Amino acid sequence: MPIVQIDFVEGRTVDQKRDIAKKVTQAICESANCPPEAVTIILRDLPATNFARAGVLRIDR
Amino acid sequence: MPIVQIDFVEGRTVDQKRDIAKKVTQAICESANCPPEAVTIILRDLPATNFARAGVLRIDR
Amino acid sequence: MPIVQIDFVEGRTVDQKRDIAKKVTQAICESANCPPEAVTIILRDLPATNFARAGVLRIDR
Amino acid sequence: MPIVQIDFVEGRTVDQKRDIAKKVTQAICESANCPPEAVTIILRDLPATNFARAGVLRIDR
Amino acid sequence: MPIVQIDFVEGRTVDQKRDIAKKVTQAICESANCPPEAVTIILRDLPATNFARAGVLRIDR
Amino acid sequence: MPIVQIDFVEGRTVDQKRDIAKKVTQAICESANCPPEAVTIILRDLPATNFARAGVLRIDR
């Protein structure tokens, strides 16, 4: 019963999200040997002001 | 000190959120034997493009 | 399709977890008007060294 | 910079986790058009007492 | 490779987020002895309808 | 009311966790202008088999 949460910087299209949902589910089912119905995916779009690496916001890179 | 995170597809009214906060807190306090002040709840509203089960986005069902 | 994550300090029995699962699901279904099958709950047990409020670990209170 | 969190019931081998890391990263890079270095994955193993659907713990099914 | 997620009620300015990113990264690097490049931070802004303590939404306090 | 979640590879001592709790709370209070009592921190220790970057588990680097 994998629960997958993906946070990324906003800007993906609905088609990209559709593709992520399909391919990530396939990847987990193949690797973890579970049926697709068991996989739940949550996507969260973050503004570029809300993501940092090495102490620097994405908007400042 | 339970921390509760609830992600659901957007569309709940403020009254529904008020009710969820009250009843989920009661449920946890009764079950886990803790005072209401110890319970923190975060709600996150997801667009229907951002939730998938079985590899299919909610908007495509 | 609510996804519920609950983090608390370890020490709850299996019976308490069973009760939390049942009552939190009921609370959400009543408030958000969804069927029980739509509710997924994850519980995470934290050691008392891994929880802090006001900058102080739970083991130091 | 996708951050992926996967919670599942414990019991996956290290080889399965290696496979999940590789394939989920590939799936996201293809779909979201990002380099593999941008993808971070966290896996969390849950005991079967800590996962519920429809108000019932996994150990009781 | 610390992954930091911070959920708070919306209303922080970009300058405040910039400051949080910088100072939280420094705090973790000093305490956990890791390079800044290893620290990833996600910020999530919650409306005041989506945060509760003691069973009461933030908007009702 | 910031809620902070930090996932890192296991191996930090209790003293390091104590220091993280104190300094991260200070950093957030200074930046976001809130009292220490408002800050809750959860730490999660991950085995090196459960963390990946660029599709490769930490144990394989």
Give ipTM to 2 decimals.
0.97
Judged by CB atoms closer than 8 Å, whether chains meet at E55 and B22 is answered as yes
Number of domains in chain B: 1
Token reading at E23 = 């100072």
Q: What is the mean pLDDT of residues E12-19?
A: 97
Instruction: Note whether residue D14 is domain-resident.
Output: yes
Mapped onto helix, strand or coil, the DSSP state of residue D6 is strand
Catalytic annotation, residues of C: 2
- F54 closest CB neighbour out of D39, D43, D45: D39
If we measure between CA atoms, which residue out of E46, C16, A33, A41 comes closest to residue F2? E46
Helix residue ranges per DSSP H, C1-61: 14-32
Domain CATH number, residue F55:
3.30.429.10
Share of chain B above pLDDT 70, in %: 100
Residue D1: predicted pLDDT: 84
Lowest mean pLDDT among B25-29, D30-34, E37-41, F47-51: D30-34
| DSSP, res B10 | S
**Neighbour count for residue B45 (Cβ, 10 Å):** 17
If we measure between CA atoms, which residue out of F23, E26, E8, E24 comes closest to residue C55? F23
Distance from CA of B16 to the nearest CA of C (A): 6
Residue C14: predicted pLDDT: 98
* pLDDT greater than 90 at residue C46: yes
Provide the domain limits for residue C26. 3-60
E41 touches chain F (CB under 8 A): no
| Residue F58: C-alpha distances to residues C44, F8, F48, F52 (Å) | 22, 11, 5, 6
Taking only the tens place, the pLDDT of each residue in A2-33 is 999 999 999 999 999 999 999 999 999 999 98
Confidence of residue E36 (pLDDT cuts 50, 70, 90): very high
